[in-house]
Structure 1
């Protein structure tokens, strides 16, 4: 194996990848008990260079999951509390005149960090929400005609309450499409909730977390997952699933090409976490809901007019689509 280029992350072995990722998962799980799927999904988004949207009712641990993941990685972390009076400049930064130097200086906003926690993102106005768009897609921010690059790795974890909650603003389609995955926490089971009462009566579990991976190691994990093999038949399978959402009569908005790309990227990380160097069809179909569901919109006749039934309707449609698309047999070629 050749040496890494100067400034690039050192190459990993399969054992090293497993050791570091298992350490991150175990660290976050000390705070988020009984939710292994949510914890794994958060790590998948981080290593697939995507962004994560966590949607659920208040008080189920959305922000706690984001903070636990951030605390497990030794990198820069900023938290933005989205409120109705939050301004776009608070997120991206502003240019301020320096009377001594007699020129404008850029004062970076909260977006300039490796991990950005956007708490209750749909409590803010659409104008402020859109301040994240350029950074999430292009890893840069343009203020007063000047481009400023965010640090690498760059990962946004946003939380939001369901739209029927009072005082919320629906994320526009363009904003939702920037998130690789959307997940829900759900209520904890009885054992986990009772354990939480005992453990958190006097101690905050976040205080006990120590970083188990550096930002350099995270970059190496990202490079390792990026190298996972995807056979042409698997790529065709992902494209067929995406096209099926666009041709479905029950959907008025199907999955975008960005969604297809992010589905494959997420599947590569999922495969790497399972110890494989190649993607199988189950990796693709298993991530269909988290990657596609927040991007597609059902027609009114399919039940899209009733907000509380939208999630169930979309899940049913995606299940039908997954069942209708032929699953490839070859996975490694």
Structure 2
């Protein structure tokens, strides 16, 4: 891994104790050109993770707090009539940024959620029939609470499929929680994270260009293809992974290898990104849900049943 990326990981980990793997997966999605859905109970650092990344990356970042009364125009922008100049004027919304934090995305109706579909898939938005390109790179990180259902709207499959990863944040370990508490005691507080940008959005674009140099052996392609197809053949799933899901696993594997300073993909790279890349794209059968099964369990079992390429 390059020194700059390693420094970025270390600085973020100072602010987010015990979240190194999720931080690295977040950077992997960014390099791969995807977006991230971040799920976890309140108060464990979802928003802080994205804000810390924003501060260390520089560029332009926006945060939108999604609410039930929010309209699509509140996200992408709208057209108003300027009486002084006697002409219509386009007011661009917060989506025009390098990093968009969509906080509690499941609190807004599907109509407003859908306003992000074109932006996340094509890097552009349409306002009153006129198409505007978004900044490049454009990265969406959306957060949601997994335990509160009143006043929330389930994200449609089409919206979920636009996220490269779904990352889950859980409660910290005993030792990590103690470190978090110690950060709020003045005489125990460690040196604060220097919030000077360590990485630039131009560097991310360069990393994306380097993805083309990462070699994927035919045996790895076969491994990913078998994984995707096997999810469609099990009766434990009502909906298996699509071809887009396979592309997500492939691109994420290449990005993970690149961040590890390698120009080739290994089976371990595929295993590392498979769960965050697939867990939100699979629909469990009612029987599996009743038995307490999860997408992660099925992905792990499916991987275990596939011969690992040598």
Bin for the TM-score computed over the shorter chain = over 0.9
TM-score, scaled relative to structure 1: 0.87
The C-alpha deviation readout for 1:278-313, integer Å capped at 9, x for no partner, is 00111112211110011100111222x58xx3xx42
CA contact (8 A) 1:42 1:52 kept: yes
Task: Provide the rounded CA distance (Å) in 1 between the counterparts of 2:194 and 2:260.
Answer: 28
CA contact (8 A) 2:34 2:164 kept: yes
Q: CA deviation at 1:212?
A: 0.3
Q: Which residue of 2 aligns with 1:293?
A: 279
Q: Which of the numbers 243, 258, 273 marks the counterpart of 2:244?
A: 258
Q: Which of the numbers 176, 180, 190 marks the counterpart of 2:164?
A: 180
Q: Which residue of 2 aligns with 1:240?
A: 226
Q: Which residue of 2 aligns with 1:315?
A: 296
Q: Which residue of 1 aligns with 2:48?
A: 64
Q: In structure 2, the residue corresponding to 1:95 is in which secondary structure?
A: strand
List alignment gaps of at least 5 residues for structure 1: 1-16
Task: Provide the rounded CA distance (Å) in 2 between the counterparts of 1:143 and 1:91.
Answer: 11
Backbone CA RMSD of aligned residues: 1.9
CA contact (8 A) 1:298 1:314 kept: yes
Q: Which residue of 1 aligns with 2:104?
A: 120
Q: Which residue of 2 aligns with 1:229?
A: 215
Task: Provide the rounded CA distance (Å) in 2 between the counterparts of 1:27 and 1:223.
Answer: 25
Moved more, 170-179 or 188-197: 188-197
CA contact (8 A) 2:18 2:172 kept: yes
Is structure 2 residue 21 aligned with structure 1 residue 37?
A: yes
Q: Which of the numbers 79, 83, 101 marks the counterpart of 1:99?
A: 83
Q: 1:228 to 1:73 in 2, by over 3 A?
A: same
Q: 1:134 to 1:205 in 2, by over 3 A?
A: farther
Superposed, 1:1-333 pairs within 5 Å as 18-162=2-146, 164-201=148-185, 208-303=194-289, 309=292, 312-329=293-310
Q: In structure 1, the residue corresponding to 2:214 is in which secondary structure?
A: coil
Q: In structure 1, the residue corresponding to 2:231 is in which secondary structure?
A: helix
Q: 1:204 to 1:103 in 2, by over 3 A?
A: farther
Q: CA deviation at 1:226?
A: 3.8
The C-alpha deviation readout for 1:304-330, integer Å capped at 9, x for no partner, is x58xx3xx422221122112223222x
The C-alpha deviation readout for 1:180-201, integer Å capped at 9, x for no partner, is 0011111112222222222235
- Number of aligned residues: 308
List alignment gaps of at least 5 residues for structure 2: none
CA contact (8 A) 2:160 2:281 kept: yes
Runs of 4+, deviation exceeding 6 Å: 202-207
